[in-house]
Amino acid sequence: MNSNRRNFLRNLTLGTGAIVTGGQAFATVIADESDRRLMNKATPSAGSFNMCGYAAPKLNIVRVGIVGLGMRGSGAVERLSFIDGVEITALCDKYPDRVSGAQKTLAKMGRPKAKEYSGDEGYKALCESNEVDLVYTPTPWELHTPVALHAMKNGKHAATEVNAGLTIEECWQLVETSEKTKKHMMMLENCCYDFFELLTLNMARQGLFGELLHAEGAYLHDLSKEYLFNKNAYADMWRLKQNIKLNGCLYPTHGLGPIAQCMNINRGDKFDYLTSTSTNDFTLNNLAKEMAAKDDFFKEYVDRPYRGNMNTTMIRTNNGKSIMVQHDVSTPRPYSRIHLLSGTKGAAQKYPGPERIAFGHDWIKPEELKDLYDKYSPPIVKHIGEIAKEVGGHGGMDFIMDWRLIDCLRNGLPLDQDVYDAAAWSSIIPLSGKSVANRSRSMDVPDFTKGAWKTNKPVNLTLDGGGNTTVRSVPAEK
């Protein structure tokens, strides 16, 4: 074998992808230079501050500014209005009519009118306001990081809908800004607060599953006709455009967040590397053609590079565990987040239903599962769960999430989800895309904790020091 051939194979093995021509090597860079630089931020810098377990000063009243008042934002206005100790002081949306609609919700809930902001960059003035403590952001994805950064830089805590960041650069910006400002940056991953997920988290904490060695999560939800190709759903068709712009696992955190908490990711273990594979697109372009035949509006979406329908991403952790995450929002199959935990003493799975738990070859009986709910539902569920079901929001998990966030801020408690979780979970989006683009090659996941994962404490769902945030009566029409 000649030296050029040997060097070529060696470089491929090392991941440089160098092409040797005429005795000269030209590097084909898999990740761009900024990503290479960011992957190496593995050691704490001078003055680095660990936000995991950080308790910010108490806020007796949490003044909330909400940026983005579409589908998720309008619901947040109503849910937050139920929580005592909250004042919604500011509302912002690109479209002024949405702000007006949110004002009507506040009036219906007996809340005072909030200050109004609108336009493409109205969020900047809201973040700079002296009347806001927490900026709550349910906007299109590409605004999540810019709004959160501007909030923290102006002395506000930030809570953003999923996904928190779309690039490794954005994920690092969120981490470094939160550490520098000592302001919380929480990704609003509501599925971490669903009832079965909370049950299995507490059971994992109690050791009932033994050592967890594998987990699976997903977002399998056919959005194609009802949402992606609906002119009245996502403003400016932004989510359909993301399905053209991005490939890989576009929406990992609903399935990944709950199992990552169970497996102590960033708190005793961390993501090490991933590989990702996507199918071709077999439905989205065909649907675009079908819609364009009826409505010229959709002609610009024909023959575009849609992402593959099904993506499967495999993650290996530093402690030798495995995690599978799947994403498919464009084929007709039943909704599923999978939520499977597999340990040395037992297993749990939520989808397909019914919810089930096993400590051997067979799933336990329904009455035994009820006993587990009674015994191992964490204190937060026993304290606020029934009220959350009445208020609503995906069966109550949205309200548990909102209530918990406010209660932690009011009592100076660490948050269940910190900026490192937001960054690590969101990083799956760009890393899976790079893996898919490079024949499923493995991609290292940055250590956003810079080594602190080895000593960070697991999520604690007790109400020690909190739980005193009360809820207003639910209106009769609810």
- For residue 346, being part of any structural domain is answered with yes
- For residue 368, being part of any structural domain is answered with yes
Alpha-carbon distance 28 to 37, whole Å? 16
Nearest to 76 by CA among 174, 160, 183: 160
- For residue 13, being part of any structural domain is answered with yes
- For residue 199, being part of any structural domain is answered with yes
Tokens representing residue 150 in the block:
């501007």
Average pLDDT, the chain: 92
Instruction: Label residue 48 by pLDDT band (50, 70, 90).
Output: confident
Q: Which amino acid type is present at position 354?
A: P
Query: What does the pLDDT look like over 82-95, one tens digit per residue?
Result: 999 999 999 999 99
Alpha-carbon distance 109 to 101, whole Å? 13
- For residue 428, being part of any structural domain is answered with yes
Domain, as residue range, for 347: 191-381+417-454
Query: What does the pLDDT look like over 279-332, one tens digit per residue?
Result: 999 999 999 999 999 999 999 999 999 999 999 999 999 999 999 999 999 999
How many domains are there within the chain?
A: 2
- For residue 476, being part of any structural domain is answered with no
CB atoms within 10 A of CB 216: 20
pTM as predicted: 0.92
Query: What does the pLDDT look like over 438-462, one tens digit per residue?
Result: 999 999 999 999 999 999 999 988 9
Instruction: Label residue 13 by pLDDT band (50, 70, 90).
Output: very low
- The arithmetic mean of pLDDT across residues 391-406, rounded, is 97
Query: What does the pLDDT look like over 332-350, one tens digit per residue?
Result: 999 999 999 999 999 999 9
- For residue 310, being part of any structural domain is answered with yes
CATH number at residue 429: 3.30.360.10
- For residue 239, being part of any structural domain is answered with yes
